[in-house]
Structure 1
Amino acid sequence: MKHRMSRLQRAKQFMPFAALKGFETLLAAVARPKENRVELSEDQIDELNKTLQAIRCGDWVRVVYYDNHKYVEIIGPVDMISERQQILSIGKNISFSDIKTIEVFF
């Protein structure tokens, strides 16, 4: 008596096999061009400091910051701000020194 495979079992035979799981993701990350960190002018730093001093928890902000060799934008409410630790938190902690621009939505 011959054993017949179901369609699902037959389909599984022909599914692609990924011997190196995550390799394609790693390759894409390495291939991504890296951005250089921008040096802010004294005026830009002063403006950034004024904005950071005015921010309160719950304020909605748009922040462009340097993360993992590229600039990233995040928009959301401020969870926490610590002058002592030099950290702004919007769902994730962002060091003041990594911030390029910040905009507060009033």
Structure 2
Amino acid sequence: MKHRMSRLQRAKQFMPFAALRGFEALLAAVARPKEAWVELSENQIDELNTVLQSIRCGEWVRIVYYNKQKYTELIGIVDMISEQLQILSVQGIVIPFRHIKELNPYDI
């Protein structure tokens, strides 16, 4: 007497084997297209410097910055600005001035 498999058992037999959990997600992340770094014009740099000089700790800002081969937008409160170190911190994320593409005061 032959044992017949149920459809579910038969389907399980052909399901992909996931020996490397998370590997597909890693491949997708690596395959994600990279964004090129945008070189700012002199006018854009001047505008950015003007905004950087006017921003104070505790103020809300919208910032677009280069982060891990792509541009990221962040809206939050400025924690710290250091002209000496050329860094800005928003919501605990430290961003070098040279990585900033856009910076604007943000009204909530």
**Superposed pair shares fold, TM > 0.5:** yes
Match of 1:78, SS?
strand
Counterpart of 1:19, as a letter, is: A
| Counterpart check, 1:42 vs 2:42 | yes
Q: How many percent of aligned residue pairs carry the same amino acid? A: 65
Partner of 2:99: 98
**More off after superposition, 87-96 vs 22-31:** 22-31
TM-score normalised over the length of structure 1? 0.80
Q: Provide the aligned C-alpha RMSD in A.
A: 1.5
- Runs of 4 or more off by more than 3 Å in structure 1? none
CA distance in 2, matches of 1:25, 1:86: 35
* Post-superposition offset of 1:17: 6.2
What is the total number of aligned residue pairs between the two structures? 92
Unaligned runs of 5+ in 2: 1-11
CA distance in 1, matches of 2:17, 2:73: 36
CA distance in 1, matches of 2:41, 2:30: 30
Partner of 2:9: none
CA distance in 1, matches of 2:62, 2:26: 29
Equivalent runs, 1:4-15 vs 2, <5 Å: none
* Post-superposition offset of 1:69: 0.7
TM-score normalised over the length of structure 2? 0.78
Unaligned runs of 5+ in 1: 1-13
CA distance in 2, matches of 1:78, 1:58: 5
* Post-superposition offset of 1:20: 1.4
